[in-house]
Every structure is written in structure tokens, then in C-alpha cells.
Chain A
Amino acid sequence: MINVFEVNETNKMIQEENLDVRTITLGISLLDCVDSNLDVLNQNIYDKITTTAKDLVKVGEEIEQEFGIPIVNKRISITPVSLVGASACKSPDDYVSIAKTLDRAAKAVGINFIGGYSALVSKAMTKSEEYLIRSIPKALASTEFLCSSVNVGSTKTGINMDAVKLCGEIVKETARMTKENDSCGCSKLVIFCNAPDDNPFMAGAFLGVTEGDAVINVGVSGPGVVKRALEKVRGENFEVLCETIKKTAFKVTRVGQLVAGKASQKLGVPFGIVDLSLAPTPTIGDSVAEILEEIGLERVGAPGTTAALALLNDQVKKGGVMASSYVGGLSGAFIPVSEDQGMIDAVLEGALTLEKLEAMTCVCSVGLDMIAIPGKTSAATISGIIADEMAIGMINQKTTAVRIIPVIGKDVGEQAEFGGLLGYAPIMPVNEFSCEKFIGRGGRIPAPIHSFKN
């Protein structure tokens, strides 16, 4: 039988070390909503979401109480809207009407975010996909709960540089349209390479076409738990360090697996995957940067940071994989700047630069995340940053992403405030040499040689 020490260990993780289930994300396929009449399509979408997800928040709260574990977010991911709206939408404004419908549905069921205002254009864009991408700034400026993503590259297809160029402009335009709130519209827009179909984390969640009608995906978290565990093995060698991370990741993931199973059972929706991610929040003690410091760095960004992050990411996966029956999504350590107090401090002290962050993204999940840059940064430069990150993903056969915020009206030395889980961020300097001619070429970068495995 379970003993008092085990009970206390678990409850201490929850109460003192910020262990939580970051999100239960209900994936809903909208493929059966398709209609060539825009009004009918909007009604179908609203009805399907509000019916399928009507119990999501209630079930989430029941599970929280039954197990005594906080479930921070209840979210919905949907089929990429560019596929659903293709036959009905004849202009970007038509897509905005779908965005508003999604926002209304999200509000009606009481969730935190809805993701999937997305287009998958890793090789080329259809006219309709281009409309969707062009509608993103207006869609994000006129909704509250909507998240958007664009997949512009993959190891199998190469990088769609036309889409990269367009996305740079779209990021800039989104920033402009939400400039009253420190351009926070950009915090809900992710540009991907190798985007996974089952990611439960926002802003990049969508339900891929390989998925079923509805599915439950769960994202666990717990950087604080790993940090505390590592405090007990200070000065020990790498074997001990890695074993400790692995064991802790195992325990954290077990909770995710349990919650996913329960949610799936209570909602009558199949269980998809658990995403093994260390996702930080601005709360002190809930930071990935603090783990890296505990491993032995004075500040994140110091030499050794990439190696420390690589081992952390790998051990989290090794520990988590055995704890869950299905693992997927992004799985690894997230390194958003604005959502992690340790990262913010490192930027403020000059320890962490954009270039070092880029190196770090080679060895961890996701990519350049929640980084505020000067509002004067040109669209072409933003496209250049996106292209670099996409190349890392394409060549290394991994997911990479860019969620970058050119804060209109602010410059290096100032701060952007996003509020809540999104936190705040010091504006980071960007290399000012131009890449305009490179971005202006048009076309696509071919798939790398190691993609030909047939």
C-alpha cells in the first residue's frame, strides 16, 4: 500500500514545486463541417465545437478535484482552417468570419484557447491558403481566444521561401494591428517547420489530417519539480544528474498519463498522446532556466548552455517515454523568454542573446519562442530569422518554430508586457545587417539529401 512518504512527496510536488498538468487539449476534426456556403460552414463549425466540447471544462475541473492536481488550461485544437474553409472562402475577410465563429465557440464552452487557425504550406500555397495567411493579422486582432500557426517547411519538402517571406510580413502586420497591447497578437502566431499533428500546446496546436474525429492530448509540466530534485544532487557527476532528471520526468509524466486516461474515459473521446514537455511559467520556481543554472551555469547563455539543455531535453524524453503508452507532440524542454523568469533575468543581464537562443533551439523542442524584438525590425529581417530556424528544423529532422514579437514603438532597453501566462519580455537586439535580397529571391529551398530514404 502507498505510504505516507510517497503521499507527501507527490503533494509537495503539487503544492510547493508547481507540478501541474499544463493542458488538456481536445482535438476536434472540422472536416465534416465543410460547405461551400460560408454561413452554413460557420454554423456547422460552431455547432460541432460546442457539442463535442460541451463537457470539456467541467470534466477538467472534476479531475482536478478528484486527484488534487491543477489542470491549468483546457483547450481545443481543430483541423487547419485553410482546409475547412477552402471551398467557402473567396477572400481573407471570409476567413476572418470563421475566426470570429471560432472565438465565439471557444467563449461558449469556456476554454482558454482554440488553436488551428492554420495553413500547412511546406511546399507551396493554394490561393485559399494564401487568403488564410493574409487574414491572420485581422483575425488575431479581432479575437480573444484564437491561436494561429503556419507550417512553412519540412524535412520531406524543403522550405517554402515564398511563405517565409509572406510570414515575415504577416508577423509585422499582426504586430501593427495589436500595437496598443505591445503587439501581443504575435504571441498567438507560430511559424513552424515539421509541425506535429498532435501538439497540445499553444499557440501552435492544430489537429492534423492524420487524426480521428476527436482526440484527447495532454501536456504535462513541472520544471520546478526537476529543479528541486537536482538541488539534492549538487556537485554529483553526470550519471547521477541524468538519472535524477529521468526519474523525475517519469513521475511527472505518469500524472499526465493518468489525467489523459481519465479525461478520455469521462468524455468518451479516445486518448491520443502525452506531450512530455517542461513548460515554464513566469512564476518563480517554475523555470527551465533555473534548471540549467542548477546544472551548473551561472546564467543561461553562458558557454555550456547548449550542452546542458541537450542533456536535459534527452533525459526528460528517456524518463517520460516509459511512463506513457503514447508519446507525441513537441516533447522536450520549452525555452520561451517572456514566460520564464530565469530567461528574462539572463537577457536583462546580457548573458543571453538571440544567437545563443538559436543555438539552443537545435537541441530542444520548439524554437525561438516569445522573443520581443524592436518594432522597427523589417519584415525581411523577420523572414530571415524564420528561415534560419526553419533550416535548423529541416536539416535536423525536428520540429522548430518561431514566435517572435516585433513590439511596435519600442526598442532595445524597453520592456513589453503581455500579461498572465505570457509574461513580459525585455526587447532583444537583432543583427541589423540586411537579408532582403536573400528573402526576395522567391521559390523554395529543396529538401535535404537525407530526406530521400525510400
Chain B
Amino acid sequence: MKKGIITVVGKDCVGITAKVCTYLAENQINILDISQTIVQNYFNMMMVVDMDKTEKKFSEVAEELKEVGLSIGVDVHCQNEEIFEKMHRL
């Protein structure tokens, strides 16, 4: 399975999760895990997603999610899980 890690950081407002999840649903990206906290009004979310079914390239999804983030004033990063696996697991 090709997994992606999506991180969302920014000032909290209504509809951040909705906006990101709508994009994912439209592109056949399944959410496997979500953790989310709000620290001093700052929204901090991490998602693990399954990218197998989407027809788009990883780099395209990353770019489009970044734009979704910009439209609501938060930073969205979508990265291939491998970079974290490589760095933190033997």
C-alpha cells in the first residue's frame, strides 16, 4: 500500500478538516488514521492516508493539497510515508 502522511498546521477556524477531507474523498484517497490537537488556538492535525486508488501522481496531490491549505490559511503538507519510515525505523 502506498501511504501518505498529511500534516495540517495553522490558526484554527471552521471547516479545516472538512475542506481537506472533501479533497481526499474527491480523489479516492482513503483515511487510515487521524490525530488532531489544538494548542493555544493552533490547529495541528496528522493523517495517514492510502494513496493506492487515486489516479493522480503523488507530487500532484501534494501540490493541490498545499493550495487547498492556502485557500483557508493553513499549511498543508502531504509526504510519502517512506521518508518517516526510513528515518525512524530500522
If A62-B57, A65-B63 touch, whether A255 touches B87 (CB-CB below 8 Å) is yes
Name the B residues within 8 Å of A258 (CB-CB): 82-83, 86
Chain A residue nearest to B75 (CB atoms) is: A15
Q: Are A2 and B79 in contact (CB-based, < 8 A)?
A: no
On whether A68 and B48 interact (CB within 8 A), knowing A11-B7, A258-B82, A258-B86, the answer reads: no
Interface residues of chain A: helix, strand, loop or mixed (majority): helix
A1-B48, A2-B5, A62-B57 known; A10+B62 contact, CB < 8 A: no
Q: Does A449 belong to the interface (CB within 8 Å)?
A: no
Q: Which of A1, A6, A66, A255 contacts B58 (CB 8 A)?
A: A66
Query: Which A107-159 residues have a C-beta within 8 angstroms of B?
Result: none
Instruction: Report whether B63 and A10 are in contact in the complex, using a CB–CB cutoff of 8 Å.
Output: no
Is A387 an interface position by the 8 A CB rule?
no
- Across the interface, which residues of A come within 8 angstroms of B62, CB to CB? 65-66, 68
Within the complex, what minimum Cβ distance (angstroms) separates A211 from chain B? 26
Question: Which residues of chain B come closer than 8 Å to A238, judged between CB atoms?
Answer: none
Contacts A2-B5, A62-B57, A66-B59 given; does A10 touch B84 at CB 8 Å = yes
Known: A67-B82, A68-B77. A7 touches B5 (CB 8 A): yes
Which residues of B51-82 are within 8 A (CB) of A? 57-59, 62-63, 77-82
Contact residues in A for B33 (Cβ distance below 8 Å): 1
Contact of A7 with B84 at beta-carbon distance under 8 Å, contacts A1-B48, A66-B79 already known: yes
B86's partner among A7, A65, A66, A255 (CB-CB below 8 A) is A255
Establish whether residues B77 and A67, one from each chain, have CB atoms under 8 Å apart when the complex forms.
no
Q: Are A7 and B59 in contact (CB under 8 A)?
A: no
Once A1-B33, A4-B35, A257-B86 are accepted as A-B contacts, the answer to whether A62 and B48 lie under 8 Å apart by CB is no
Given contacts A2-B5, A2-B48, A2-B88, contact A10 B83 (CB under 8 A): yes
What are the residues of chain A within 8 A of B59 when measuring CB–CB? Answer: 61-62, 65-66
Number of B residues near A (Cβ < 8 Å) is 24
Number of interface residues of A (CB under 8 A): 21
> What's the Cα separation between A2 and B5 when bound, in Å?
9
> Helix, strand, loop or mixed for chain B's interface?
mixed
Q: Does B46 contact A (CB under 8 A)?
A: yes
Judge if B26 is at the interface, Cβ distance under 8 Å. no
Query: Are B85 and A2 in contact, CB atoms less than 8 angstroms apart?
Result: yes
Most buried by B among A9, A66, A258: A66
Contact check, B86 vs A68: say whether CB atoms are below 8 A apart: no
| Assembly CA distance A2 to B84 (angstroms) | 7
Report chain A residues within 8 Å CB of B79.
Answer: 66-68
Tell me the bound Cα distance from A66 to B46 in angstroms: 16
A67 CA / B85 CA spacing, docked (Å) = 12
In the complex, whether A234 has a CB less than 8 A from a CB of chain B is: no
Contact, CB under 8 Å: A6 / B83: no
A69 at interface, CB cutoff 8 A:
yes
Question: For residue B57, which residues in chain A have a CB less than 8 angstroms away from its CB?
Answer: 62
Report the separation of the CA atoms of residues A68 and B89 in the bound assembly, to the nearest whole angstrom.
19
Question: How many angstroms between the C-alpha atoms of A255 and B88 in the bound complex?
Answer: 10
Docked Cα-Cα span, A66 to B33, in Å, equals 20
Counting from the closest, the 9 A-B pairs by CB-CB distance are: A65-B59, A68-B79, A66-B58, A67-B83, A254-B86, A6-B88, A2-B84, A258-B86, A62-B59
A interface residues, Cβ below 8 angstroms from B: 1-2, 4, 6-11, 61-62, 65-69, 251, 254-255, 257-258
- Which of B's residues lie within 8 Å of A, judged by CB? 5, 7, 33, 35, 46, 48, 57-59, 62-63, 77-89
Q: List, sorted by A's number, 27 A–B pairs whose CB atoms are closer than 8 Å.
A: A1-B33, A2-B5, A2-B48, A2-B81, A4-B46, A6-B84, A6-B87, A6-B88, A7-B5, A7-B46, A9-B88, A10-B83, A62-B57, A62-B59, A66-B80, A67-B79, A67-B82, A67-B83, A68-B62, A68-B77, A68-B78, A68-B83, A251-B87, A251-B88, A255-B86, A257-B86, A258-B86
